[in-house]
Amino acid sequence: MILTKRASGVLMSITSLPSDFGVGDLGPSAFRFADLLSESKQSYWQVLPVTPTDLGNSPYNATSAFGGNPLLISPEILEGEGLLPELPKAGHGQLPPGRASYGYASVLKREMIRKAHQRFKEGRDRGEFEEFCQENSSWLESYCLYAALKEERDEPWYLWPKGLRDRKPDSLAEKRIKLKDVVDREKFAQFVFFKQWHSLKEYCAELGIGLVGDISFYVAGDSADVWSNREIFKLDSEGRPTSVGGVPPDYFSKTGQLWGNPVYDWEELNVQGFGWWTRRLQQTLKLFDLTRLDHFRGFVAYWEVPGDAKTAVSGKWVAAPWEAFFETIKSRFPSMPFVAEDLGVITPDVRAVMRRFDLPGMDVLLFAFDSGPDNPYLPENHSPDSVVYTGTHDTNTIRGWFRDDVSPEQKKRLFEYVGKEVSEEEASWEFIRLAENSVACLSIIPTQDVLSLGSDARMNRPSFAEGNWEWRATPEQLTSDAFRRLGEETENSRRY
């Protein structure tokens, strides 16, 4: 297993960092947060996916499995490098406190990138940029042309004229000429994102902090990947999905979750030697020291729903060629630096795959008091080869759960387990202590639980379309005593 010593970390989306520019980014706040983690004796910083997003802003609905999200580019760094004449006007008075404003950030960052690209073209050595474009040409060319066409047409790729939809060479060549400057600007944005990311990664490494990434199982139907690789997805002749992904009814939804992403054609992926997936994982591991594989069970069997279904109830389980896939991945990445997201409906065959390939899973303490002593999420049922969380980006915060969601039976089990009654104010810290003292090799605490925040700080409500991914910390919250207290718990539990 890649995790070999006890350690502790914090879950904090880049978008949730303080910023004057709509969403958190890779600028000074990110470096200050790394300092805070170091001072708090943390060894890992886990983030949500950093790939480009579209409508809904979900980081799990990427428009590119390989690119970086331009919204995370820091204006301060560009200004410091002389690529901006001045910083964009900060959004004071326009932004809701403690919330991300993706619409505001999108307009601001698009104009910022346009200005920086213009200055870059006028007087900068393009050698490093050209080298980046060459090294990433396998995905960069298609993604940047896709992004330029989306800007021109503002509609999904499967509604484009047939020549563009079906990637006819003449049609693409014509658009590459017409949209050359826009394509070049998109390449520049990717160049800047990866340059800023690697600067932050190197800084974290100097502090002894590893970065934990998160890779979504599916990509968006309206994405550069589906447009460029139609043969590995189940689509009709016009590019629309004949089958979509989701999960059956579970903890989060009585009718299941209908994600709407086109499912993979695993037979074709197998024929191709899983090349798209190995390239995707290779790209991800350039950014992170450890990567969480979201919806891990989908690699063994996935819930396939008819493309015209209204809910996920009518779906069925379909087996994937897991043995060939993971043998390929193991040969390509021998250390297997992955964590399996094994939440939800997990069958014995999924557990067997995790054991065979020595992949740690997740233990979520918020689920530990749903039932009795056999509950797998209770600390005594954890194993050293796992990662323990108080909660995840999909659950309520601990304080929010305690105040708004907990049943009398769950509360009774919690009190009996910790040997005392727990107040709302202290609920988060009881769970943090349970996590830090677990035998699990790695403990990850969401920032909202470190700060003992309530339901209004929840990151995502599965099956709810509005209001997700918006929580942001304030500068004052990140200078509170909460992280000092986390450091004490980390040291006391021998995770430092």
Question: So which residues are the catalytic ones?
Answer: 294, 341, 394
CA distances from 407 to 140, 403, 404, 423, 431 (A): 50, 10, 9, 15, 17
Alpha helix (H) residue ranges in 387-477? 398-400, 408-418, 424-436, 447-450
Torsion region of 452: left, alpha or beta (phi above 0 gives left; psi -120 to 50 gives alpha): left
Q: Show the tokens assigned to 423.
A: 């107040």
- CB–CB of 324/270 below 8 Å? yes
CA 197 to chain centre: 15
H helix or E strand, kind and range, residue 246:
strand 243-247
- CB–CB of 32/16 below 8 Å? no
Task: For tokens 């409508």, name the residue.
Answer: 55
What lies within 8 Å, CB to CB, of 126 at 6+ separation is: none
Burial class (CB in 10 A: 0-12, 13-18, 19+), 195: middle
CA distance 223 to 206: 36
CA distance 276 to 62: 15
Sequence length of the chain is 496
CA distance 334 to 88: 45
Alpha helix (H) residue ranges in 245-333? 266-271, 275-287, 322-332
